[in-house]
């Protein structure tokens, strides 16, 4: 009887086909070479963008340099007039002598490039320095705050060099040791007062430089074209020389207006 039950169970049990057993999932196969190629393409595109941004930043830095130097050279010119006016109450406003001006422009001549390089390095840490109007105004404002400080810092050194070389007797009031002491101990106080006096005009000059360079970029052509970089440099140089000419050479009415308004 037991054999009959087993035979019934065998007859009633459904047959299991191999096709009903779920297949084991196959591992996902990826094309490694394709992924690597895409990654390299994206990396190459990113490097291209970075190189282009760096190129435009360099064009902006070099293009701003003539305007920045021109604005900085206005300060010693005006400072001579202020010194003469303070020395003589009845001083009649007139242009300084060119030899005196040339001897005292060394500090401003170095202060402008140093200020721009500091701003350029700082911008690269946080933001790009592309020639858009908002960024040029920010750069101009920072330049206007930094440039008078560096000019005041370097002016005593300028006077010391004039004294020891015999080019001018401005500081030639004693031995080299005495002039060295005057330079070292007068620098902190002179720098502070010079920076305080020229902070306002310096910011104004910096903003004007930023706006003028933005105008130059509108006429010089798109910065996206590398061959147009020379136009930026030429346009900025012409604008800077024009401003410096108007202040130091002609017309006298403009010089008098700037002196009476801003100083």
User: pTM, whole model, 2 decimals?
Assistant: 0.78
Nearest-5° Cα angle at 216, 57 to 235: 95
| CB burial readout 183-211, b (16+ within 10 A) else e | beeebeebbeebbebbeebbbebbbbbbe
Q: What's the pLDDT tens digit per position in 119-144?
A: 998 887 777 777 889 999 999 999 99
pLDDT of residue 149: 96
CA distances (Å), origin 5, targets 2, 8, 10, 13: 5, 5, 9, 12
pLDDT of residue 169: 56
Determine contact, residues 77/102, Cβ cutoff 8 Å. Answer: no
Both tokens of 255, joined, read: 């010089």
Q: Is residue 228, in this structure, part of any structural domain at all?
A: yes
Among residues 151, 190, 183, 192, which one has the least CA distance to residue 164?
A: 183
Determine contact, residues 191/153, Cβ cutoff 8 Å. Answer: yes
Q: Is residue 88, in this structure, part of any structural domain at all?
A: yes
Q: Is residue 19, in this structure, part of any structural domain at all?
A: no
Determine contact, residues 160/171, Cβ cutoff 8 Å. Answer: yes
Cβ of 3: how many Cβ atoms within 10 Å? Answer: 7
Q: Is residue 103, in this structure, part of any structural domain at all?
A: yes
Q: Is residue 35, in this structure, part of any structural domain at all?
A: no
Q: Is residue 124, in this structure, part of any structural domain at all?
A: yes
Distance CA 253, CA 248 (A): 11
pLDDT of residue 47: 83
The three-state DSSP-derived secondary structure of 121-185 is HHHHHHCCCCCCHHHHHHHHHHHHHHHHHHHHHHHHHHHHHHHHHCCCCCCCCCCHHHHHHHHHH
pLDDT of residue 109: 94
Q: Where would I find the H helices in the chain?
A: 2-12, 32-87, 98-104, 106-126, 133-165, 176-220, 229-248, 252-262
What total number of domains does the chain contain?
Answer: 1
Cβ of 154: how many Cβ atoms within 10 Å? Answer: 19
Residue stretches of the chain with pLDDT short of 70: 1-33, 88-91, 168-174, 262-263
Q: Is residue 242, in this structure, part of any structural domain at all?
A: yes
Distance CA 128, CA 130 (A): 6
Cβ of 246: how many Cβ atoms within 10 Å? Answer: 14
pLDDT of residue 126: 73
Q: Is residue 13, in this structure, part of any structural domain at all?
A: no
pLDDT of residue 90: 63
Distance CA 12, CA 241 (A): 107
Distance CA 221, CA 227 (A): 10
Domain coverage including residue 220: 66-262
Q: Is the peptide bond before 251 cis (omega within 30 degrees of 0)?
A: yes
């Amino acid at each position: 009887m037991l054999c009959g039950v087993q035979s019934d169970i065998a007859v009633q049990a459904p047959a299991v086909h191999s096709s009903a057993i779920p297949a084991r999932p196959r591992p996902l196969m990826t094309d490694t070479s394709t992924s690597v190629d895409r990654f390299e393409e994206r990396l190459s595109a990113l490097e291209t963008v970075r190189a282009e941004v760096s190129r435009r930043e360099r064009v902006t830095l070099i293009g701003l340099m003539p305007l920045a130097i021109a604005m900085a050279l206005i300060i010693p010119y005006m400072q001579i007039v202020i010194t003469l006016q303070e020395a003589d109450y009845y001083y009649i406003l007139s242009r300084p002598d060119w030899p005196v001006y040339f001897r005292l422009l060394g500090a401003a001549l170095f202060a402008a490039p140093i200020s721009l390089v500091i701003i350029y390095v700082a911008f690269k840490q946080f933001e790009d320095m592309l020639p858009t109007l908002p960024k040029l105004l920010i750069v101009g404002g920072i330049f206007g705050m930094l440039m008078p400080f560096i000019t005041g810092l370097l002016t005593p050194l300028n006077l010391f060099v004039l004294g020891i070389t015999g080019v001018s007797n401005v500081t030639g009031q004693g031995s080299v040791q005495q002039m060295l002491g005057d330079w070292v101990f007068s620098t902190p106080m002179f720098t502070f007062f010079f920076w305080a006096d020229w902070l306002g005009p310096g910011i104004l000059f910096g903003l004007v430089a930023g706006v003028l360079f933005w105008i130059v970029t509108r006429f010089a052509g798109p910065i996206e074209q590398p061959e147009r970089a020379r136009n930026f440099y030429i346009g900025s140089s012409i604008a800077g020389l024009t401003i410096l000419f108007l202040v130091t050479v002609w017309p006298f009415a403009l010089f008098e207006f700037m002196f009476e308004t801003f100083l």
